């Protein structure tokens, strides 16, 4: 039996070739790591945002011609603060309530608010409207084309939450 054993010179050449291949592969892996690490860095880019165009409506116990509406849990007025916070508690946007419709004879009240440039992708948002306690909502609820509902005394008796997204 004859074995084909490379000469020392050939063996060294193969060792050098293997070393170069390993060094090249290590360099490619390191470069890929740098590129991927760069993907996680925003590079100074602004985060994605969305605009909130929503409102609050409901049947008030008392509705006044000056735009003030007295609901079961709170009183809303034109100019009341609307504040949106992110999950960290940072304020992401602030605006004022604007009267859409107030009907003193029926007690129906509707207010609008618009907040531009709210940071997208938060796990949850905290919405505070006027004198109401803050509520936790999703991005989808903030962007929905439905008013948040201010409850009446009857709705309070049925167990409805004080201020919540309108029913689907």
Q: Please state, rounded to an integer, the average pLDDT across all residues of the chain.
A: 82
Instruction: Looking at the structure, tell me whether residues 82 and 103 fall in a common domain.
Output: yes
Instruction: Looking at the structure, tell me whether residues 35 and 109 fall in a common domain.
Output: no
- 8 Å CB contact between 116 and 51: yes
pLDDT (tens digit per residue) in 58-69:
999 999 999 999
- Angular region, 107: left φ>0, alpha ψ -120 to 50, beta rest: left
Instruction: Looking at the structure, tell me whether residues 65 and 8 fall in a common domain.
Output: no
Instruction: Supply the range of the domain harboring residue 59.
Output: 49-165
Find the DSSP H helices in the chain: 8-40, 139-143, 153-157
Domain count along the chain = 2
Residues 144 and 47: their CA atoms lie apart, in Å, by 21
- Of the pLDDT bands very low, low, confident and very high (cuts 50, 70, 90), residue 36 is very low
What is residue 162's predicted lDDT score, i.e. its pLDDT? 83
Between CA 51 and CA 52, with CA 143 as vertex, the angle to 5 degrees is 30
Q: What is the pLDDT averaged over residues 41-57?
A: 85
Instruction: Looking at the structure, tell me whether residues 69 and 9 fall in a common domain.
Output: no
Instruction: Looking at the structure, tell me whether residues 7 and 73 fall in a common domain.
Output: no
Greater model confidence, 49 or 5: 49
Instruction: Looking at the structure, tell me whether residues 1 and 55 fall in a common domain.
Output: no
- Of the pLDDT bands very low, low, confident and very high (cuts 50, 70, 90), residue 22 is very low
Looking at the predicted structure, is the pLDDT value of residue 71 above 70?
yes
Q: What is the pLDDT averaged over residues 139-152?
A: 91
- Of the pLDDT bands very low, low, confident and very high (cuts 50, 70, 90), residue 79 is very high
Share of the chain above pLDDT 90, in %: 60
Kindly report whether the global pTM for this prediction surpasses the value 0.85: no
Greater model confidence, 117 or 145: 117
What is residue 167's predicted lDDT score, i.e. its pLDDT? 61
Looking at the predicted structure, is the pLDDT value of residue 26 above 70?
no
Residue 75 is encoded by which pair of tokens? 């009183």
Instruction: Looking at the structure, tell me whether residues 66 and 125 fall in a common domain.
Output: yes
116: Cα separation from own chain's centroid = 12
Which run of H or E residues covers position 126?
strand 125-129
71: Cα separation from own chain's centroid = 28
């Amino acid at each position: 039996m004859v074995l084909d054993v490379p000469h020392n010179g050939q063996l060294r050449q193969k060792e050098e070739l293997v070393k170069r291949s390993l060094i090249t592969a290590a360099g490619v892996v390191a470069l890929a790591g740098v590129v991927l690490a760069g993907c996680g860095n925003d590079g100074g880019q602004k985060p994605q945002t969305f605009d909130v165009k929503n409102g609050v409506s409901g049947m008030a116990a008392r509705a006044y011609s000056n735009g003030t509406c007295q609901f079961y849990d709170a009183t809303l007025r034109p100019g009341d603060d609307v504040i949106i916070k992110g999950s960290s508690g940072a304020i992401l946007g602030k605006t004022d309530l604007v009267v859409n419709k107030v009907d003193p004879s029926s007690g129906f009240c509707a207010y609008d608010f618009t907040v531009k440039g709210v940071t997208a992708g938060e796990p949850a948002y905290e919405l505070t409207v006027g004198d109401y306690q803050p509520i936790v909502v999703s991005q989808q609820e903030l962007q929905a084309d439905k008013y948040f509902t201010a409850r009446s005394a009857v709705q309070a008796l049925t167990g409805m939450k004080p201020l919540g997204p309108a029913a689907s």
